[in-house]
Amino acid sequence: MESFEGKIAVVTGGGTGMGRELVCQLIAAGAHVATCDVIEENLLVTMELAEKKGTGRLTTHLCDVSDASQQARFREEVSAQHRTQHIDLLFNNAGIGAGGSIVTEDRTEWERTFNVCWYGVYYGCTTFLPMLLASEESHIINTSSVNGFWASVGPHVPHAAYCAAKFAVKGFTEALITDLRINAPNVSCSVVMPGHIGTSIVENSRKLVREKNADDPTDAEVQRARELYLRAGLPLDNVPDEHIKQMMQQESDDFRDKALTSAEDAASIILEGVKEKRWRILVGKDAELMDQSVRADPESAYELEFFRRLADRMMALNVGDGNSGD
């Protein structure tokens, strides 16, 4: 697929982050795009930004990708509003992160995260498959993560639901390579594995698991955050909850603002990989470094010494890229 001109693309999770950038860059490249999210205000911002990039048809849709019936409705809306029976590109990009522990946390958050990050991809593929098959040449792009080959975000932070889902996405997409080659040779696929990308996933994930998407952290969230900070060696036993909330907000802001790779750059890397029909797309120098480190010493990948070595290499990477993290 040498050009996106005139192609019809579906992008899930298009309200913020990489999804928003994929929409904007596809529109700029002359594609027509249908994108969905669960937060309407975010979709409106994406539409406003994308409409300045090009003249392709852009439609926005409310859809919880973890719900098969909503994905089916999304497909019918795409078909009707774009007046098409086929699509050329499917970006299963939507994701959240919560439900870190099966030991200490309620299973509701665990299942919510797993269902969005895994079933959102599976339902996306199965729901839109007839429209992909109807295209002369189509491509499925499933977003996994570096946590799809290394199930950790640090030695003191459980991250079970997100990692389990992203491992599932990676394995599923790799299995699709053979399945599609045999049964649907006009459809190809890629698995995307981003490192730390400057997005609002931390903040959005916290909001989405709260009742009615409340802005303020719940008492349970604050208590979990306090426990994680204590486990990491921060003396926060007696500080007030308000201080913990401020730390949580700063953590979210830093994740978005101090990443090695911007959402804009990540989207460009992904789209270039799609053009080249690469089945495996690592996004970011940190993703490449993590991949190399885990492959070189898989038996030690969850030992404290491995984390220390990786942290030193990441620090050198940050300094070499001109980003000290200050």
pLDDT given for residue 183 in this prediction: 98
- Residues 114/161, Cβ–Cβ less than 8 Å: yes
Q: Examine the domain organization and report whether 235 and 309 are in the same domain.
A: no
- Tell whether 299 is covered by a domain: yes
- Tell whether 140 is covered by a domain: yes
Q: Examine the domain organization and report whether 70 and 110 are in the same domain.
A: yes
User: ∠ CA 101-104-106 to the nearest 5 degrees?
Assistant: 85
Give the sign of the dihedral formed by CA 174, CA 180, CA 185, CA 190.
negative
Phi and psi of 89, rounded to 5°? -140, 135
Q: Examine the domain organization and report whether 33 and 115 are in the same domain.
A: yes
- Tell whether 2 is covered by a domain: no
Q: How many CA atoms lie within 13 A of 302 on its CB side?
A: 9
**How many folded domains does the chain comprise?**
2
pLDDT given for residue 177 in this prediction: 98
pLDDT, tens digit, 9 for 90 and up, residues 250-264: 566 555 556 579 999
Which of 88, 209, 82, 228 has the alpha carbon at shortest distance from 156?
Answer: 228
Q: Examine the domain organization and report whether 236 and 312 are in the same domain.
A: no
Per-residue tokens: 189: 């696929």
Counting every residue, how long is the chain?
326
Q: Which among 209, 231, 258 is the end of a domain?
A: 258
- Residues 124/12, Cβ–Cβ less than 8 Å: yes
pLDDT given for residue 219 in this prediction: 75
pLDDT, tens digit, 9 for 90 and up, residues 186-202: 999 999 999 988 655 54
User: ∠ CA 207-209-213 to the nearest 5 degrees?
Assistant: 40
pLDDT given for residue 325 in this prediction: 36
- Tell whether 240 is covered by a domain: yes
- Residues 1/277, Cβ–Cβ less than 8 Å: yes
Q: Examine the domain organization and report whether 253 and 268 are in the same domain.
A: no
Q: How many CA atoms lie within 13 A of 106 on its CB side?
A: 8
Phi and psi of 282, rounded to 5°? -85, 135
pLDDT given for residue 99 in this prediction: 84
Q: Which among 258, 280, 296 is the end of a domain?
A: 258
Specify the pTM: 0.83
Q: Examine the domain organization and report whether 48 and 110 are in the same domain.
A: yes
Query: What percentage of the chain exceeds 70 in pLDDT?
Result: 82
Residues ≥6 apart with Cβ < 8 Å to 216: 245
> Domain span at residue 188?
8-199+261-317
Question: For the domain that residue 95 is a member of, what is the CATH number?
Answer: 3.40.50.720
pLDDT, tens digit, 9 for 90 and up, residues 299-326: 999 999 999 999 888 888 765 554 433 3
pLDDT given for residue 324 in this prediction: 36
- The per-residue pLDDT string of the chain (326 residues; one tens digit each, 9 = 90 and over) reads 789 999 999 999 999 999 999 999 999 999 999 999 999 999 999 999 999 999 999 999 999 999 999 999 999 999 999 999 999 999 999 999 888 899 988 899 899 999 999 999 999 999 999 999 999 999 999 999 999 999 998 888 889 999 999 999 999 999 999 999 999 999 999 999 999 886 555 455 555 555 545 567 777 777 676 666 566 666 666 777 776 666 666 566 555 556 579 999 999 999 999 999 999 999 999 999 999 999 999 999 999 999 999 988 888 876 555 443 33
- Tell whether 326 is covered by a domain: no
pLDDT given for residue 326 in this prediction: 31
Q: Examine the domain organization and report whether 155 and 288 are in the same domain.
A: yes
Q: Examine the domain organization and report whether 194 and 275 are in the same domain.
A: yes
Question: Rounded CA gap, 39 and 183, in Å?
Answer: 36
Question: Rounded CA gap, 193 and 143, in Å?
Answer: 6
Q: Which among 236, 258, 280 is the end of a domain?
A: 258
Q: Examine the domain organization and report whether 168 and 84 are in the same domain.
A: yes
pLDDT given for residue 323 in this prediction: 47
- Tell whether 163 is covered by a domain: yes
- Tell whether 322 is covered by a domain: no
- Tell whether 282 is covered by a domain: yes
Q: Examine the domain organization and report whether 123 and 155 are in the same domain.
A: yes
Q: Examine the domain organization and report whether 105 and 246 are in the same domain.
A: no
pLDDT given for residue 304 in this prediction: 92
pLDDT given for residue 94 in this prediction: 97
Q: Examine the domain organization and report whether 231 and 119 are in the same domain.
A: no
